[in-house]
Amino acid sequence: MPVVDVGRGRVKITCTVNGESRTAHGVWEGESLLYVLRERFGLYGSKNACEQGECGSCSVYLDGTLVCACLVLGGQADGQSVVTVEGLDGAKVQQAFVEAGAVQCGFCTPGLVVATHDLLHRVPRPTEAQVREALAGNVCRCTGYQKIIDAVNLAVG
């Protein structure tokens, strides 16, 4: 069986990332959207904590839908629009996370910020149960979550 050279990938991806058109050449078919965002576009804000869709640290919007970027193939983003934490209109949520003490090591934070942004877009005044359900896919190892709930409440205002 011939050895496949993944270093000379054949895929070209063109997508809109945070409002800007971006193209990546020579992408190996197996690269995840997370890898493309981080290593090809230099957008390291989406995090690589589990790379199997369990922790939510790589949450981004793909054409307006909240996804784990690690579970999406880079090629699937071709022709689509991606919004990452770096391009989010999330100042209110971001400020609230800092104010509430919801940031410790911060590795889960970008994903939580995007997921909270999505929740508040869908449900502007969520109940605590709705907050917990919406953020159940985002693992945080530092905070014990109470300050994250406080941050969401602060962002609601």
Partner 1 sequence: MRVGESVRRPDGMPKVRGTFAYSSDLHAEGMLWGATVRSPHPYARIVAINSAEARAMPGVKAVMTSRDVKGRNLYGLEIQDQPVLAGDEVRYWGEAVALVAADHPEQARRAASAVKVEYEVLPPVTRAEDGKVLRHVKIRHGDQNPHAEVVVRGEYEVGMQDQAPLGPESGLAVPDGEGGVDLYIATQWLHVDRQQLASVLGLPPEKVRLTMAGIGGAFGAREDLSMQAHACMLALETGRPVKISYSRPESFVGHVHRHPGRLTYEHGATREGKLVYVKAHILLDGGAYASSSTAVIANATCFAVGPYLCPNATIDGIVVYTNNPPCGAMRGFGSVQNCYAHEAQMDKLAAALGMDPVELRMRNALETGSELITGQVIEGPVPVAELLKRVERFPMPDGAQLLPGGYSNTTHGEGVKRGVGYAVGFKNIGYSEGFDDYSTARVRLFVHEGKPRLEVHTAAAEVGQGVVLVQAQVAGSELGVNDVVVLEADTRVGSAGSSSASRQTYITGGAVKAAAQAVCKQVLDLAQSELHPASELRIENDAVVGADGKQIVSLATLLGDAVIEETREFRPRKTQPLDPDTGQSNAHMQFAFAAHRAVVDVDTELGLVKVVELATAQDVGKAINPLAVQGQLEGGAAQGLGLAVMEEIQVKDGVVRNASFTDYLLPTILDMPPVRMDILELGDPSSPYGLKGVGEPPTISSGPAIVAAIRAATGREVNRVPVRPHDLTL
In the structure encoding, which two tokens stand for residue 140, read together?
């945080």
Contact yes or no for 124/116 (Cβ under 8 A): no
Binding status of residue 18 toward partner 1 by CB under 8 A: no
Closest alpha carbon to 55 in 119, 147, 121, 141: 141
Interacting span for partner 1 (CB under 8 A) from 25-33, 61-69, 75-83, 117-125: 25-33
Q: How far is the CB of 57 from partner 1 (least distance, A)?
A: 6
In this structure, are residues 40 and 12 in contact, taking their beta carbons and an 8 Å threshold?
no
DSSP result, 127-144? -HHHHHHHTTT---SSS-
- Choose the stretch contacting partner 1; rule: CB under 8 A; options: 61-69, 75-83, 98-106, 118-126: 98-106
- Residues near partner 1, by CB under 8 A: 3, 5-8, 28, 30-31, 38-39, 42-52, 54-55, 57, 84-86, 93-95, 97-99, 101, 103-110, 113, 128-129, 131-133, 135-149
